[in-house]
Structure 1
Amino acid sequence: MFNPDNLLLPFFDDGHRELHERLHAWARTALPSRIHSGDVDALCRERVGQLAEAGWLRYCVPAAFGGALPRLDSRSLCVLRQTLGFYDGLADFAFAMQGLGSGVITLFGDDALRRRYLPRVAEGTAIAAFALSEPDAGSDAAAMTTSARRTADGYVLNGTKTWISNAGLADFYCVFAKLEDDAEGAGVTAFVVDADTPGLAVTERIDVCAPHPLGTLVFADCLVPHAHRLGAPGAGFKVAMQALDVFRASVGAAALGFAEAAADAAVRHAGERRMFGATLGDLQLTQAAIGDMATDIDAATLLVYRAAWERDVLDRPTTRPAAVAKLYATEAAQRIVDVAVQLHGGRGVRVGEAVESLYREVRALRIYEGASEVQKMVIARAVRKARG
Structure 2
Amino acid sequence: MPAFSLDPSQTAWCAELRDLAAERLRPLADKGEPGHVNRPLVAELGRLGLLERLFTSGAFDLCLMRESLAHACTEAETALALQGLGAHPVHAHGTRAQRERWLPRVADGSAVAAFALSEPGAGSDAAALELRAEDDGAGEGEGGAEGEGEGGAEGEGEGESPAAEPDGPARWRLTGEKCWISNAPEADFYTVFARTTPGAGARGVTAFLVPADRPGLTGTALDMLSPHPIGSLTFDAVPVTADDVLGEPDRGFRVAMGTLNLFRPSVGAFAVGMAQAALDATLAHTAERDAFGGKLRDLQAVAHQVAEMALRTEAARLMVYAAATAYDEKAPDVPGRSAMAKLLATETAQYVVDSAVQLHGARALRHGHLLEHLYREVRAPRIYEGASEVQRGIIAKELYATMEAGQ
Task: Specify the code of the residue in structure 2 equivalent to 1:362.
Answer: V
How much has 1:193 moved relative to structure 2?
0.3
Q: Cα deviation per residue 1:159-212 (whole Å; 9 max; x = unaligned)? A: 000001001221000000000469xx971110000000001001x211112211
- For the residues of structure 2 that align with 1:59 and 1:41, how far apart are their CA atoms? 26
CA distance in 1, matches of 2:28, 2:124: 29
**CA 1:379 to 1:315, structure 2 compared with 1: closer, same or farther past 3 Å?**
closer
* Residue 16 to residue 301, structure 1, CA distance change in 2 (3 Å): same
Residues 100 and 35 of structure 1, relative CA distance in 2, 3 Å threshold: closer
Tell me by how many angstroms 1:42 deviates.
5.8
Matches of 1:333 and 1:132 in 2, distance apart?
25
1:317-357 superposed Cα distances (whole Å, 9 cap, x missing partner):
61000100000000000000000000011112111110111
Partner in structure 1 of residue 49 of structure 2: 55
Give the aligned partner of residue 262 of structure 1: 278
Indicate whether 1:339 and 2:355 are aligned. yes
Q: Is the 8 A contact 2:35 2:227 kept in 1?
A: no
> What does 1:204-353 align with in structure 2 at a 5 Å threshold?
204-314=220-330, 316=332, 318-353=334-369
Once the 2 structures are TM-superposed, how far is the Cα of residue 15 of structure 1 from its aligned partner? 5.4
Q: Which amino acid aligns with 2:175?
A: N
Q: Scaled by the length of structure 1, what TM-score is found? A: 0.91
CA deviation vs aligned residue, 1:122-165 (integer Å, no higher than 9, x gap): 01011000000011110011222101123322221000000010
More displaced stretch, 376-385 vs 37-46:
37-46
Q: 2:61 aligns with which of 65, 69, 76?
A: 76
- AA aligned to 1:163 is W
Counterpart of 1:27 in structure 2 is 21
Kindly indicate whether the alpha-carbon contact (under 8 Å) linking 1:134 and 1:160 is maintained by their aligned counterparts in 2.
Answer: yes
After superposition, the Cα gap between the structure-2 partners of 1:359 and 1:181, relative to the gap in structure 1 and judged at 3 Å, is closer
Deviation at 1:31, TM superposition (A): 3.7
Letter in 2 for 1:267: L
CA contact (8 A) 1:162 1:217 kept: yes
Aligned CA distance change for structure 1 residues 227 and 330 (closer, same or farther; 3 Å): same
Structure 2 letter corresponding to 1:93:
T
Amino acid at match of 2:376: R
Q: Residue type matched to 1:141 in 2?
A: A
- In the aligned structure 2, how far is the partner of 1:148 from the partner of 1:113? 20
Q: Which residue does the alignment assign to 1:134?
A: 119
Q: Which residue of 1 is the match for residue 81 of structure 2?
A: 96
TM-score (norm 2): 0.87
Identify which range, 31-40 or 21-30, moves more after superposition: 31-40
Q: Distance in 2 between matches of 1:276 and 1:331?
A: 32
Residues 35, 224 of structure 2: 8 Å contact kept: no
Q: What amino acid maps onto 2:206 in structure 1?
A: T
SS for the counterpart of 1:135 is: coil
Say whether residues 1:173 and 2:167 are aligned partners: no
Taking the aligned partners of 1:186 and 1:150, their CA distance within structure 2 comes to: 17
Identical pairs, percent: 44
Q: Distance in 1 between matches of 2:233 and 2:308?
A: 42
For 1:242 and 1:197, how far apart are their aligned partners in 2? 26
Q: Structure 1 residues 322, 230: CA separation in 2 closer, same or farther (over 3 Å shift)?
A: same
Q: Deviations over 1:219-248 (max 9, x none)?
A: 001001211101111111111000100111
- 1:15/1:371 Cα in 2 relative to 1: closer, same or farther (>3 Å)? same
Q: Secondary structure at the match of 2:193?
A: strand
Q: What residue number does 1:187 align with?
A: 204
Kept in 2, the 8 Å contact 1:186–1:233? The answer is no
Change (3 A) 1:43 1:224: closer
Return closer, same or farther for 1:43/1:186 CA change in 2, 3 Å cut-off.
closer
1:123 aligned to 2:139?
A: no
For the residue of structure 2 that corresponds to 1:189, the secondary structure is strand
Q: Which residue of structure 1 aligns with residue 165 of structure 2?
A: none
Write out per-residue CA displacement over residues 37-89 of structure 1, whole angstroms, 9 at most, x where no aligned residue. Answer: 7623666212201211111111112xxxxxxx3xx410111011101111111
| 2:402 match | 386
Query: Helix, strand or coil for the counterpart of 2:204?
Result: strand
Count of aligned pairs between the two proteins: 370
Asked if 2 retains the 8 angstrom alpha-carbon contact of 1:34 and 1:88, the reply is no
Asked if 2 retains the 8 angstrom alpha-carbon contact of 1:273 and 1:280, the reply is: yes
| Structure 1 unpaired stretches of 5+ | 62-68
Root-mean-square deviation (Å): 2.0
8 Å CA contact 2:29–2:38 kept in 1: the answer is no
SS at match of 1:298: helix
